[in-house]
Amino acid sequence: LGECLEKDWSEMILKRKFQRITDVVKQVGQGKGPDILILQEVENKIVLERWRDEYLKNLNYQTIALVEGPDERGIDTAVISRLPLMQPPQLHQIDLTSPEDPKARPTRGILETHLRLPNGDRLAVFAVHFPSQGAPTPARIKALEVLQQATAALPPHTQIVVGGDFNISAKEDWKEKLFDKYIAPKFAISHKIGCQDCVGTIYFPPDKTWSFFDVLLFAPEMAEIARTFFDRSW
C-alpha cells in the first residue's frame, strides 16, 4: 500500500512508463497492437485516455472501459479496444468480509465489458486481478465464484474472454485444484491449450517455483481459434 500511495509519479516517470508499455503493445500485430487490451493496476480513466491520445493515437483504440473500484490504492482493471462498446461496463464487487474477518480490506472487482465484433456478435470481456498471495486461498475462491456468477448471467451464445492476473500459485493449484474445479468445466485455459511445455509466467524465489498468474480464458467454442493463435505465437 505504501509504495502505491507514496511513489513519486513525476511527469518524467509517467512518460517513461507510457513509452515502455507502448513499446510492448506494438510488438503485437507488426506494430498495430492487439484489438483488445486487458489491463490491471490502472490508476484512473484519465491516465488511460492520455496514454491512448498521446502514445497510441495511430492505433485506432476507440473504447476505454474502467469503473472505479473500492481499492484505495487506485489499482483498477480496465479494457482498451478498437471494437465499439455495446453497453456501459459493469464492475462485479468481490466481498471478502466474513464472520472471522468482518473488516476485510476491499479488493479489486471484476470488470465486465461488452464489445461488438465486426460481424455484429457480442463479445463479453472480463478483466480480473484476483486477491494476491498475501490473502488466503478462500479470497481467490470467492473471486472465482463471482466470476462464475457473472459469466453464468450472460445471454445465451455470448462469446466470452477472461484475462488478467489470477494470482493462483502452482503450489496452491496443486493442493486445491482451483483451475480444474472452478475454471476448466466452462473455459479453455491459455496455458493448457498453448505452450504446454512452458513452466509459468512468474517465478517465486522463496519456493523456487513457477506459476501461471497471468491467464486468458476462452469460451469452449473459441478454444480452437485460440489454440491456432497460441500455436503461431509460441
Which residue has better confidence, 220 or 39?
Answer: 39
What cell numbers appear for 223 in the block?
478454444
Give 229's pLDDT tier (boundaries 50, 70, 90).
low
Q: CA-CA distance, 1 to 23, in Å (whole number)?
A: 28
What cell numbers appear for 79 in the block?
479494457
Per-residue buried b or exposed e for 204-230, using 16+ beta carbons within 10 Å of the residue's own CB: eeeeeeebbbbbbbbbeebbeebbebb
**What are the helix (H) ranges across the chain?**
2-6, 11-25, 45-55, 137-152, 170-176, 178, 190-193, 223-233
Convert the pLDDT of each residue in 154-210 to its tens digit.
988 889 999 999 999 999 999 999 999 999 999 989 888 876 678 888 898 878 889
Beta bridge partner(s), residue 36 = 81
Tell me which residue of 17, 88, 84 sits closest to 50, measured CA to CA: 17
Tell me, letter by letter, the H, E, C secondary structure of 137-193.
HHHHHHHHHHHHHHHHCCCCCCEEEEEEECCCCHHHHHHHCHHHHHHCCCCEEHHHH
Q: What is the pTM of this model?
A: 0.90
Convert the pLDDT of each residue in 17-48 to its tens digit.
999 999 999 999 999 999 999 999 998 999 99
Containing 37, the helix (H) or strand (E) segment is strand 36-42
Q: What is each CA distance from 128 to 27, 197, 206, in whole angstroms?
A: 23, 25, 26
Cα dihedral 33, 38, 42, 47, rounded to 10, equals 40
Beta carbons of 200 and 211 less than 8 angstroms apart: yes
Cell 466474513, residue located? 98
Q: Is 230's pLDDT higher than 80? A: no
